[in-house]
Structure 1
Amino acid sequence: MVNVFCSGRRGVREGGRGGFCGGLRGLVLASLLVSLGAQGTSLAPEHEVHRLMLATEEAVSNGNWGEAGGYLNRLQRLEGDKPVDYYYFRGRVMQESSHLNEAQSALENYIGRAGAEGNHYQDALKRITDIEKKRDERSRKEHNRSDEGEPVAVIEPAGEQAPSDLRSLYLVDSDRKALTLHLNSLLDLASWRADQRIVRLDAPADVSYRVASDDSRIEIQESARESDDRVSKSTQSLDVYGVSPQVQWDCQAAACWVYDPRDGSRLMKLSPDQNRAEEIASTLGRLIRTLQAPS
């Protein structure tokens, strides 16, 4: 059972005809039907990816945003690099459900990977502009309410979304699962490449990460591409008890780093995007805190 919680705070959850809550409920219920109705196939991973991408494209074309979100969530759970159009459709679905930060990040990642030759290049650019306009419009409305003496809620960054919103977004029943999926979604957008200027569609990232979690431990898998194109994988376990949830990060010219909360050593090497690195560190900290004090 998926419960959709809407706080009713003005300026944050409102939006469109019928309000944000109504739209989110419809999105979640439709996505739940997709999730329950399809428990996977026996296809090889590369064929399953292609099948889910075709299903996502059809759902988006028909305006079935819940179905599209369900297919994208299943794609996210598959290992390996995603097709470049995955990021475009993820941006479309996030924009439709008013998750503006995730939408912009996904669309920017699509443009970075596909370049001007991408099938959806111009539409992605227009959508980023639309997102900026919508964000500015929200800011103006909040400013006007503040001038009129009305209480104004603060729009939280993507990494600080309410746990109930993340559970609804990823169609899961626990904060741990939602934060783990959200962290992997952010990491998909932050893989490190030696040459950040050109992102070739046929060349996977040089360094990428996936996380998994249980009740007391976070598993962090690093995939590193060698000079001969072989991929080496290493996994380390982070026991959360006694660990500070204040995860540190910083950025240099060629990379951003997330630091190990146990000893301050380098834990993750990410693309040089400060906002994304900050959000990843914040989400990792939230996951640690959730495991330390489960509800």
Structure 2
Amino acid sequence: MAVCFGDSRLPAWTLKGRQLVQGAVVASALMAGQAAALAPEHESRRLMLATEEAVTAENWGEASEYLTRLQNLDAKKPADYHYYRGRVMLQSSHFNEAQSALEAYVTKAGTEGDHYQNALKLITEIERARKENAKAPQIGDEARIAVIEPAGDKRVASLRKLYLADSDREALVLHLNSLLGIAGWRQDQTVVRLDRPADIEYRLSIGNDAISTQEIRRNDSGGVTRKTTQIPVFGVNPQVEWGCEQAVAACWVYDPRDGSRLFQLSPNRSQTEEIAQTLGKLIRNLQAPSGS
């Protein structure tokens, strides 16, 4: 008896033998993979040890790879994860991400953390680096035209219709305040009621070639504090940065002048991105000599 496969003819027992061997090989590989795979809590610890060794040896690329695998691992992250993430981000000059990670470490580990003192020093180092960056020469008045983009932004035109605004500038301000009203930060993210004000929220206005931002903070006893900041628009990069940090359940829009935190928002990436983009459009509009 023979079984035909294509143009070849092999005895049935030979084919069955090969199938059994192939099945055994596959089963063996699967069993080996299962044996090599650690439970998430053990794999997390293994990757943390590898990260610590890589950072000690200043192998920053290797440390970043281990941290990425830790981030994707379905297991509770130890406090040290945030410390080493902050070290790696700082080494890459990602000041915003580094500060968020180090603050998360300080919050989780507390004063008893092995790296508590060093984490505080690194946060101070980030502040100093930002101040140095802020001292860099700013663009002069003669270079204002360089930041102007072609007219005809359909998105801004649609905002004018939506808010019945008389100008692009007015529409952008109205849209920003609408977005900021929704994206306010709350200590308790489990139940969000829009009829109750956020713990931290912002209002924005413009005037005299500057953007005025008001921060409104509410405490547990019902008290309210307000702080106003003026951002002159000339010499400011209209590409506004933003970022989110899951460990502290918050997103930020960063000050275009020095990269420090400008708005602390709810952990909604799409809302934060739209706020940053709209703020950038407003800065461009205010930088235009003729305005609109």
Tell me which interval the TM-score lies in, with the shorter structure as reference length: 0.3 to 0.5
Q: Structure 2 length normalisation: TM-score?
A: 0.45
Structure with max Cα Rg? 2
